[in-house]
Amino acid sequence: MRTILYARYSSELQNALSTVDQIASLRERADREGWTIIDTFADEEISGRAGIGEMQRPGLNAMLNRVERGDVDQVLAEATDRIARHSGDAHAVREHLEHFGARLFTLADGHVDEITGTIKGLMDSRFLKDLADRIRRGQRGQHGRGFNAGGLAYGYNVVKKIGEDGEIVRGILEVNEEEAAIVRRIFDETLAGVSSRAIVKALNEEGIPSPSGKLWATNVIHGDRVRANGILRNNLYRGVMVYGRTRRAYHPKTRRYVARVNPVSEWRFVDVPHLRIVSDAQWKAIEAHYAAFDGDVRTKKRHPKRLLSGLGKCGVCGGTWTVISPAKWGCSTAKNKQACSNTRTISTALYEQRTMGQLKQILLNPDAIQLFVERYNVGIRKRLAEATTNRAPLERKAADLRGRISRLVDAIADGAGEFQEVKDRLRTARADLADTEHQLKALDDAAPIALPDDLADRYRIYIAQLDDALATEGAARERAASAIRELIDTLTLTPNKTGRGVEIQLTGHMANIINLAK
């Protein structure tokens, strides 16, 4: 009997010698039966649900084309699931073979006729669905115990630990401090008003690899709002592990997996405080930041192109003072509508220089310095009081947990270790202790410095250095520009009463000096 051999294995996780072993078994059976082998085909690292087209299953497709040429009595495979794990594909392959006078024969089932093929096709197809359900069930269990059930997020390392049964405990993560520092930097700079483009530019110039090991891009920082990924949207950085955000589904035409987002109501959340990288305050501030961005693109907040964009008003008509040529500013109403008599202009350099001069005068006013010192001292005293108030109950809780852990360890040593409930209580107590110690460490890290005697002098130096920050490029300039714009309430430009040029009147946001105190 003229026979074609066919073999297949699914993924790179399986043994690459699988097809070799299959073909060896098929040859042994053919030799024993006295069948003549006229050709051999195989597909490697291809799913049984991939389809039967040339681009989907090249080996299977070539085998079907060979059958069309005639002189073939049967196709020999290890089992029906090697031919297909899709009931429609299984039927199509068997129908094709029968049309050209060949049969399907497997080592597991012998001659695969219509009845056997239909039953086995349904079973092979169902196997993948059952396997996927079992995998998801296992992942949910891992997630519920605080273990990682997905990919490795930037900022973390995988910990390889041997369990009590001698097997590797999978899904244990720890913070990668080097990468975590980059995550905190991105959060801090975003909250300071630095654009994502400037952050990306600085990271790439410094040669810091992105999560993929390549160059940074803005989409790596912002991610996708619906899927809640990206550096600024990843819940794991606030100590919350999420499972079930997406699911994989086969596209019926392409036979490729596509990711679909599950409703938020189906997401699972587990607190993992030992994996926290950013504070709740930072996370909430980022959420408020995105609240102005998400939704209608037209409502998105945009970063001003220049330091004084949108701040100046014409003292004659109230129109916006804007850029009217590459290096000149003037009244937009006079420029575009010819409806204002204020046709004076001012260069960008002089506009910024005179504005900064007035702003410094306001900020260096004795009343402003006194306000800054008062606000700073109030904030310091408040943080000291909060640290003292919060520390006592946390220390008591940590002591109680250490005692509980000690008692549970003694109970296990006395023979109670055979009860899973005791082990679960020990695991929970250790997790609670790690959380409590993390909170105590956070209090230590956030402990404020003592009240400095030279605070007013340091404030004056800070104000004097604003010009230096504006003269730089990248994130430092954006932070300085953002702080300066917050301190300016209005800029009114009117024609000089004598001579050329304009007069500039600046009104400051004195209340925003508290932002400098932070």
Provide the terminal-to-terminal Cα distance of the chain, rounded to the nearest Å: 86
Mean of pLDDT values over 510-518: 50
Stated as kind and residue range, the H or E segment containing 105 is strand 103-106
Rounded CA separation 181/16 (Å): 40
The percentage of the chain sitting over the pLDDT mark of 90, rounded to a whole number, equals: 25
Residue 501 CB coordination number (10 Å): 14
Residue 188's pLDDT is: 92
| Conformation bin of residue 239: beta by default, left when phi > 0, alpha when psi is -120 to 50 | left
Amino acid sitting at position 383: R
Is the pLDDT reported for residue 14 higher than 60?
A: no
Rounded CA separation 98/33 (Å): 21
Is the pLDDT reported for residue 295 higher than 70?
A: no
Tell me, rounded to whole angstroms, the distance of Cα 376 from its chain centroid. Answer: 35
Beta bridge partners of 173: 158
Q: Which CATH number fits domain 2-140: 3.30.1600.10, 3.20.20.80, 3.40.50.11440, 3.40.50.1390?
A: 3.40.50.1390
Angle made by CA atoms 93, 95, 96, in degrees to the nearest 5: 65
Q: Output the DSSP codes for 453-466.
A: TTHHHHHHHHHHTH
Rounded CA separation 341/318 (Å): 12
Angle made by CA atoms 231, 232, 235, in degrees to the nearest 5: 85
Q: Output the DSSP codes for 70-105.
A: S---EEEES-HHHH-SSHHHHHHHHHHHHHTT-EEE
219 neighbors 230 (Cβ within 8 angstroms): yes
Which range among 173-182, 427-436, 482-491 has the greatest average pLDDT?
173-182
Give the lowest-confidence range in 3-17, 57-71, 264-278, 444-458: 444-458
Task: Report which DSSP code applies to 274.
Answer: G
Rounded CA separation 73/33 (Å): 14
Which range among 178-182, 386-390, 512-516 has the greatest average pLDDT?
178-182
Mean of pLDDT values over 117-129: 76
Stated as kind and residue range, the H or E segment containing 66 is helix 58-68
Q: What is the mean pLDDT of the chain?
A: 81
Residue with tokens 């990271």: 203
Task: Report which DSSP code applies to 501.
Answer: S
Residue 296's pLDDT is: 46
What CATH topology corresponds to 156-299? Hect, E3 ligase catalytic domain fold (3.90.1750)
Rounded CA separation 78/159 (Å): 39
Residue 443's pLDDT is: 64
Structure tokens at 72: 């073939």
Rounded CA separation 55/66 (Å): 17
Three-class SS of residue 390? helix
pLDDT tens, 157-194?
A: 888 777 666 666 677 888 899 999 999 999 999 988 88
Residue of 274, 276, 280, 272 whose CA lies nearest to 434: 274
Residue with tokens 């070799």: 20
Structure tokens at 446: 């956030």
12 neighbors 45 (Cβ within 8 angstroms): yes
Query: In whole angstroms, how far apart are CA 425 and each of 403, 404, 406?
Result: 13, 9, 12
Is the pLDDT reported for residue 465 higher than 50?
A: yes
76 neighbors 26 (Cβ within 8 angstroms): yes
Domain borders along the chain are 2-140, 156-299, 312-366+456-517
Mean of pLDDT values over 329-333: 91
Largest interatomic CA distance in the chain = 114
Residue 28's pLDDT is: 93
- The full length of the chain comes to 518
Residue 518 confidence class, pLDDT cut points 50, 70, 90: very low
Structure tokens at 313: 């008003």
Is the pLDDT reported for residue 196 higher than 80?
A: yes
**Higher pLDDT among residues 391 and 40, named by residue:** 40
Rounded CA separation 235/265 (Å): 16
Residue 315's pLDDT is: 92
Which range among 131-145, 193-207, 299-313, 468-482 has the greatest average pLDDT?
193-207
Is the pLDDT reported for residue 270 higher than 90?
A: no
Residue 255's pLDDT is: 62
